[in-house]
Structure 1
Amino acid sequence: MMDEINKDVEDLDLSEDNDETDETSDEEEDIPSYQVAMWDFNQCDPKKCSGRKLARMDLVKSLKIKQKFPGLVLTPTGQQCVSPQDKDIVETKGIAVVDCSWARIDSTPIAALKPQHGRLLPFLVAANPINYGRPCQLSCVEAIAATMYITGYKSHANLYLSKFSWGHSFIELNEKLLDIYAGCTDSASVIREQNKYIEEEQKQQEKDKNALPDFPESESSEESE
């Protein structure tokens, strides 16, 4: 899931298939009892796909493109935002994510999935090396972890992110927002808090900009004689 890939990170193996840090046994991990799944449209580099790495670790189930999923589905066609109100759906029916390229999202037949519980994610900032710092352009694992965190499964979110060396950065960048969203009641309140946060950030940025000193314009080196 990437757009305008930076040359400096183009050759990174985001899946981190060496996995020397992933030797913790399942007995020591808080594995979700609900299903976590994804539709893979084969548009991303498999070496850089967080969803595929999770699938290889049996932390995500791969779905066929036309296969239906009864649980919460993270999709751009969703009409509501993920909220704590969705906890029962997650617990009983699971979470699924669409794995496709941000650059090709308009041409991807996502609408054909027709999920019963389609959801959007609120404003969050990506921490993955491809889209670091970009609003809303999350990788599969970030999207899944954000949903887990907001719906009350913080330990599961940390587990999934722990499979990536950069995973902890997602929580560090978004912890304030994630805690705010997790403290909401429903989709409408999540949207209100999101808009409030964005408005406050914009005001602060404007304030910081106005606080900068005014530097005089450089004088012309040409002098009349």
Structure 2
Amino acid sequence: KLSKRFARARHVRCLFTFFVNIPNTMNKSRNFKKKNHRGAGSSGGRTRNLPEKLADLAVDSDGSDDDEGSGSGSSSDEEAGKNKFDLGKPPSFPVSMWDLNHCDPKKCSGRKLSRHGLIANLRLGQKFPGLVLTPVGTNCVSPLDRDIITSSGIAVVDCSWARLDETPFNKMKSTNPRLLPFLVAANPINYGKPCKLSCVEAIAASMYITGYKDEALWYLNKFSWGHSFVELNQELLDAYAACKNSAEILEAQNKYLEKAEAEHSNRNREIDLPPSESEEEEEDD
């Protein structure tokens, strides 16, 4: 399966676009804890700041994934994994999304961020001045986009892979549309699948590539599986972050895919090689 993925990526030679994938079913059932997010809660009626909201989200996110990790490893090991990227800071720029209501609210990372006030919802027809991750982009996210994100923020489109044809991209306008390069998903729904990133993974990837690593880790840490995204893509993310522009991003992507395909082919060749003459003679003896 991996060889087919890499082969397709090599032959197409194009940037992989990002959308949030929302499947109809999951491979295994999971229970999601319900919480009441209305009211002042422990804040005593005062308005909570962003760090406080993020801290609450970390608890809620970890709880929703308890079933997936149950029965494996000690609680201390699980806690260490969840808090691996505690070092970070909230962004000083806007983070937004267009929500097409295609997804199950319990499974959508964008909806979870929205419930906690960590991402703003945009209306169809509303223009976003910052960087927007969309398939109508002509360039890839690169460190060159840092100033755009700094001044105007970043936005994503939350829609389903299965409903792209009915998604009104013309009503989600931006002067800075961008694509994401090849990355592997770490979210529980699409773990290990190329390019099928969740909202928070796409946002974090763009932040990381443009030099906002702390902000990327801060958002990922709100999900118990978030640290896995960086672990799976560390080599790629660092390579992309070291590029200067979209052209170099594409070169880094293709170089990585060619290397991965070559390594996979070599492993298969070693397995499929016929026995040498000396080996046959030894068997005859």
TM range (shorter): 0.7 to 0.9
Contact 2:90 2:219 in 1 (8 A): no
Partner of 1:192: 251
Task: State the Cα distance separating 1:4 from its structure 2 match.
Answer: 5.2
* 1:170 and 2:229 are equivalent in the alignment: yes
Moved over 6 A (4+): 14-18
Distance between the aligned counterparts of 1:46 and 1:162, measured in 2?
19
Task: State the Cα distance separating 1:7 from its structure 2 match.
Answer: 4.0
Contact 1:15 1:49 in 2 (8 A): no
* 1:21 and 2:63 are equivalent in the alignment: no
Please state whether the residue corresponding to 2:184 is helix, strand or coil. Answer: coil
Give the alignment's TM-score, normalised by structure 2: 0.69
Q: How many residues align?
A: 213
Instruction: Describe how 1:56-95 pairs up with structure 2 within 5 A.
Output: 56-95=115-154
Give the alignment's TM-score, normalised by structure 1: 0.86
* 1:9 and 2:28 are equivalent in the alignment: yes
Q: For 1:98, which of 150, 153, 157 is the aligned residue?
A: 157
Structure 2: unaligned runs, 5 residues or longer? 1-19, 38-55, 62-82, 276-285
Please state whether the residue corresponding to 1:98 is helix, strand or coil. Answer: strand
Distance between the aligned counterparts of 1:142 and 1:136, measured in 2?
10
Distance between the aligned counterparts of 1:167 and 1:52, measured in 2?
16
Distance between the aligned counterparts of 1:20 and 1:188, measured in 2?
36
Do the aligned partners of residues 171 and 34 (structure 1) sit closer, same or farther apart at CA in structure 2, a change above 3 Å counting? same
Partner of 1:160: 219
Compare relative contact order (CA 8 Å, sep 6+) and give the higher one, 1 or 2: 2
Q: CA RMSD in A?
A: 2.7
Partner of 2:9: none
Task: State the Cα distance separating 1:118 from its structure 2 match.
Answer: 0.2
Partner of 2:206: 147
Task: State the Cα distance separating 1:65 from its structure 2 match.
Answer: 1.6
Distance between the aligned counterparts of 2:23 and 2:274, measured in 1?
34
* 1:179 and 2:238 are equivalent in the alignment: yes
Distance between the aligned counterparts of 2:31 and 2:254, measured in 1?
34
Structure 1: unaligned runs, 5 residues or longer? 217-225
